[in-house]
Amino acid sequence: MRYTFPHFTPSPEYVQPDYEKWAAVRIGMSRDDVVSQLGPPLDDEFLGGKSRPTDPYYSYGYLQMPMLPHPRTYDFLIGFDDDGTVFTKIDPFNGRFSTDGSPTSPEIIIPTDRAAFSHYPRILDCRWFPSSGLYPMTYIFELGAGQPFGPEQFHGEEIESDLPIPFFMTTFGGAQPGRFRVKAKNKLGESDWSDYRYFSFTV
């Protein structure tokens, strides 16, 4: 199958398993145990179409957002070894789940903390794990710039709100330190802010 990048989805879809049932699936379980817990797997075109009892992966959901570099980036998958027992569980949230549908605090992936960049123009690519909870979910992104010299003080925090995807790319203002943080929002409320992620540009 061939895709065009980036992938735009005019009507996002969010299919999630019951979080408690998902959490009850353990490494070493049999296929029958998984189906008993979660029900039959989804027919997923990205795993070959109609599900079969011998498939190496069972799909139990996905977050199909408005724009992604690949049309199926965020999946709920159960992987089976040759003996038909669970050897892996993959979820979009890095194993962190909401207990009441309200958003979990985002967990930043890149850039790594205290990363120092020397490229120009100063393109900054920020990504985080999607937040768990009731979907649709949007994100609030805060970016601040620091003093080029002297003590670490940050100013001029700029806010971008209602981001529909868990990443943001921008051009940073100068050869100086910076930091950003993110929080999630759905119809039940807002999460706590993520930890700050610090970085700097030397050029």
Q: With a cut of 50, say whether residue 76 has pLDDT above it.
A: yes
Q: Residue 120: name the closest of 157, 173, 160 by CA.
A: 173
User: What is residue 178's predicted lDDT score, i.e. its pLDDT?
Assistant: 94
pTM of the model: 0.88
Within a 10 A sphere around the Cβ of 131, how many other Cβ atoms? 27
Report pLDDT digits (tens) over 86-111: 999 999 999 999 999 999 999 999 99
Give me the chain's average pLDDT, please: 90
User: What is residue 157's predicted lDDT score, i.e. its pLDDT?
Assistant: 79
